[in-house]
Structures are given as structure tokens and as C-alpha cells.
């Protein structure tokens, strides 16, 4: 009986579509975050000046704490 109601209820295909869309967007976000982390490491080597760090924080919109972590540590954003 559940199979019959699933076939008749149009919300199931919509739920399936939304689930697939969410998984696609999550993968896309993971890739974008890896690119951001890579750019932060490229722009801000360990000897970067405070002014340059402040510029990256301002332009990125991320906190100084996150930028520092992306510079120095193996953060989950670095993983693809």
C-alpha cells in the first residue's frame, strides 16, 4: 500500500529531485571552498604582512580566524 501511495503522491518525485539538487550543490560548495582555501594559501604565505592579511579578510568577507586557519592548517576546506 505504501508503494501505491508513493506512486500517486506527487510530493515523492519532488522530494527526490530536491535531494539530488542538494547533493549536487553540496559537492559544488565543497569545490568552491577548496578553491578559496588554495587561494588564501597562495595569497598569504607564512611571512605575509598584516596589511595583506587584512586585505584578504576584507575582500573575502571571512573572519580573520578562518583566514589564519586556512593559511596554516589542514582545514577541511582544503580537502576535495
What are the pLDDT digits (tens) for 1-14? 456 676 778 899 99
What local confidence, expressed as pLDDT, does residue 9 receive?
Answer: 86
Nearest alpha carbon to residue 59 among 38, 43, 76: 43
| pLDDT classification of 79: cutoffs 50, 70, 90 | confident
Nearest alpha carbon to residue 55 among 47, 72, 66, 43: 43
Phi/psi at 24 (nearest 5 deg)?
-65, -45
| Pairwise pLDDT comparison (75 vs 2), residue with the higher score | 75
Q: What is the pTM of this model?
A: 0.78
Amino acid at each position: 500500500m505504501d508503494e501505491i501511495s508513493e506512486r500517486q503522491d506527487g510530493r515523492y518525485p519532488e522530494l527526490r529531485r530536491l535531494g539530488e539538487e542538494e547533493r549536487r550543490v553540496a559537492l559544488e560548495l565543497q569545490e568552491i571552498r577548496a578553491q578559496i582555501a588554495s587561494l588564501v594559501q597562495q595569497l598569504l604565505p607564512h611571512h605575509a604582512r598584516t596589511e595583506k592579511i587584512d586585505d584578504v579578510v576584507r575582500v573575502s568577507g571571512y573572519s580573520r580566524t578562518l583566514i589564519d586557519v586556512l593559511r596554516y592548517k589542514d582545514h577541511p576546506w582544503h580537502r576535495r
